[in-house]
Structure 1
Amino acid sequence: MPERTGYAHGVPSWVDLGTTDVEDAKRFYGAVFGWEAEDMPTDQGTPYTMFTKNGKVVAGMGSMSPEQAAAGVPPVWSTYLNVDNADEAIAKVTEAGGTVVMPAMDVMDSGRMAFVADPTGAAFGLWEAGTHMGAQLVNEHGSFGWNELLTDDTEAAAKFYADAFGYRPEVSETPNGPYTAFWVEGNVEGNAAAGMMPKNPGMGPIPNYWGVYFTVDDVDQLVGDVQANGGNVIMPAMDIGVGKIAVVQDPQGAAFTAMTFANKQR
């Protein structure tokens, strides 16, 4: 079921890009994913870009503020969890040991959002849907297909997401070490909501974060398209059993994972 009309509480429903060059990002993602971009007015004065694929909304983009750039905040893809009530979700987050990065605010009639961080420091958004319920297309070429927490304390993170969002963690052993799937009541049958894996020393001094995966028909082709359009390859394509992945960066430095699933996702 690649087309979505809504999301259960706690399920990732939206991803957006904060970048230093909106126009070049439009060019890059248009070339590699076939996205079309439409700038929407906001009550903040700067437009917000909606990316569409086959007429369906798939992701968003906003320009980073001068203050963020001055502080050295890099361009980044962010994950948003759908919540029934943003204010109640914030209360749950703080009770579970998380912190509020940006308090809840109305986004015109689109919805209500906030930014929070889990106890390990990984930041993510909360989205209470109004007229904008999130991505209308997922698990198809050029749309997001997975969201994954990379953290140095999986035990603390698992407890936090269980307490704050009702996640049920299920750990399995893989050739690359333990992997946690988060299951959420009300999600599409047979689909975990998100995943989690521990950081390893070989990854270097990177912060704990929520990574965004985009589904593609052919990872090798995607890697070539990224390079041809000014992007970089962080991790070449590799087989992980359930599919094939590569980690890449857009020209401004925002990283994401491209994945071709071995089996069709719903």
Structure 2
Amino acid sequence: MITTDLTPGAPCWLDLGAPDVPATAAFYGAVLGWAYEPMEMEGAGEDMEGGMFRKDGKVVAGLGKLTEEGARSAWMIYYRVTDADATSQAVERAGGTVRVPTRDLDEWGRMAQYSDPLGGQFAVWQPGQDAGFELADQPGSLSWTELYTSDAAAAKKFYGAVFGWEYSDMAMPGGGGTYTLITPAGVAPEARMQGGLMEVGKEVLALANGRPYWHPVFAVTDCDAAVAAVAGNGGTVQMGPEDAEGVGRLAVCLDPSDADFVVLAPTQS
């Protein structure tokens, strides 16, 4: 499970670059019940170029204007590290690329963004005063992270070298291949599985022009209601809703700018 305990190698933040910040804020407000809190940015125009999403008063994610030329709107997932500079070196040793060099964000912390050897993008956060999100694994917050990749073995090798992640494989139902569960280094798997990765075909990777990509899974109380809200607010549903044994009821969705995410109503234990 994803928590806010700052375990190294675990997800601690996520943000979204969108072409239309107000419209995107309204969409996620309708689907996940998030309240958008714009940040005052000099020259940003009506202070609407970036801000925070809150759920029940707690920060769950960030939102900003998509400014990178040629980039698609997509969620960026950040993993907690103790030394962002050392992580950048580990990324390059393992064959990855530093997209955004380590950057200090005043007293709040340090960040960097990378691509894995196959093109999957991810980021890291070295906390200062800001630990990351304040709510996880609850309705309306991040509950899982997932990588779709063209080469699962290569992905496991790369991320294992960078973060020390530990893996366990399970067979997908109906002969659908292998799903790899991810746990931070040195943590009991049954307590802290935080995500998964799976090898998929070109048709799945078409969303990112053939490159691997990470996406977030958000917990909801009612998957069908969340899907109806997606469709009713300009988004689309790629798959589902459907029941996954032992996991819950889920659907793969796109927001109006085609940023992908999953909604999951987990099975009650």
Residue 54 (structure 1) aligns with: 56
How far did 1:252 drift?
A: 2.0
How far did 1:97 drift?
A: 1.5
How far did 1:194 drift?
A: 2.0
Q: Structure 1 110/220 Cα, relative in aligned 2: closer, same or farther at 3 Å?
A: same
Structure 2: gaps spanning 5 or more residues: none
Residue 258 (structure 1) aligns with: 263
Deviations 1:38-65 (A, max 9, x none): 1224689685311111111101011011
Distance 2:33 2:2 in 1: 17
Counterpart residue type for residue 59 of structure 1:
A
How far did 1:193 drift?
A: 2.6
How far did 1:204 drift?
A: 5.6
Residue 149 (structure 2) aligns with: 151
Distance 1:252 1:203 in 2: 17
Deviations 1:205-259 (A, max 9, x none): 3420111111111111100011111211121211221112111111222111111
Residue 178 (structure 1) aligns with: 178
Residue 236 (structure 2) aligns with: 232
Q: How does 1:103-142 map to 2 (within 5 A)?
A: 103-142=101-140
Residue 66 (structure 2) aligns with: 64
Q: Structure 1 95/243 Cα, relative in aligned 2: closer, same or farther at 3 Å?
A: same
Distance 2:97 2:149 in 1: 16
* Aligned Cα root-mean-square deviation (Å): 2.1
SS in 2 for 1:139: coil
Q: Structure 1 178/48 Cα, relative in aligned 2: closer, same or farther at 3 Å?
A: same
Distance 2:41 2:130 in 1: 13
2:15 corresponds to 1:13? no
2:109 corresponds to 1:92? no
Distance 2:186 2:135 in 1: 18
How far did 1:125 drift?
A: 0.7
Deviations 1:4-33 (A, max 9, x none): 3x3111111111110000011111111111
2:77 corresponds to 1:79? yes
| Mapped contact 1:43–1:108 kept (Cα < 8 A) | no
2:247 corresponds to 1:245? no
Residue 191 (structure 1) aligns with: 192
* TM-score, with structure 2 as normaliser: 0.89
Residue 29 (structure 1) aligns with: 28
| Mapped contact 2:205–2:212 kept (Cα < 8 A) | no
